[in-house]
């Protein structure tokens, strides 16, 4: 019994570490074949209706609470929701605004319930949106800002 418990704990630690160490900038621009090879099959696939037809998205949802948003055959946006254990750019879901500013010194723009900052090191324009609910970070989006 102890052996099985140890194996289960080690698998959970490895899964958590993999989710925490992922660089979401590597997911942007990924094609379907590469996404399936890298992340495996999604747990769910669904559509999200945009303001107009051209803004509709197909979304892959993964058990680590990562969402991939597709435009044609490429990922254009990645989302982590409040249940995610991933650390992204030094930021974890559940932080307060002050904690986010302390963890990531990048200049940020505030708009309503969100903070925004741009990434300069990507091959195309990328923006991060941090969404707060009741003062706590509930969603993190990374997306191509030229879309």
Domain assignment present for 11: no
Question: Domain residues for 68?
Answer: 23-144
pLDDT in tens, 59-95: 999 999 999 999 989 999 999 999 999 899 899 999 9
- For residues 104 and 96, the model is more confident at 96
Q: Is the pLDDT of residue 22 over 70?
A: no
Q: Cα–Cα distance between 69 and 59 in angstroms, integer?
A: 5
pTM for this predicted structure: 0.81
- For residues 2 and 88, the model is more confident at 88
Total tally of structural domains belonging to the chain: 1
Q: By C-alpha distance, which of 44, 38, 39 is closest to 58?
A: 44
Give the CATH number of the domain where residue 75 resides.
Answer: 3.40.33.10
């Amino acid at each position: 019994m102890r052996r099985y418990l140890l194996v289960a704990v080690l698998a959970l630690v490895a899964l958590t570490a993999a989710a925490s160490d992922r660089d979401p900038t590597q997911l942007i621009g990924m094609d379907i074949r590469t996404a399936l090879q890298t992340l495996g099959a999604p747990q769910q696939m669904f559509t999200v209706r945009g303001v107009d037809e051209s803004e509709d998205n197909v979304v892959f949802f993964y058990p680590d609470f990562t969402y991939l948003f597709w435009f044609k055959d490429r990922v254009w946006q990645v989302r982590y929701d409040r249940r995610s254990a991933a650390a992204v750019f030094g930021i974890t879901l559940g932080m307060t605004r002050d904690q986010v500013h302390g963890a990531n010194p990048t200049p940020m723009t505030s708009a309503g319930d969100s903070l925004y900052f741009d990434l300069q090191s990507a091959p195309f324009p990328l923006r991060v949106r941090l969404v707060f609910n009741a003062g706590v970070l509930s969603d993190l989006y990374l997306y191509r800002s030229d879309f």
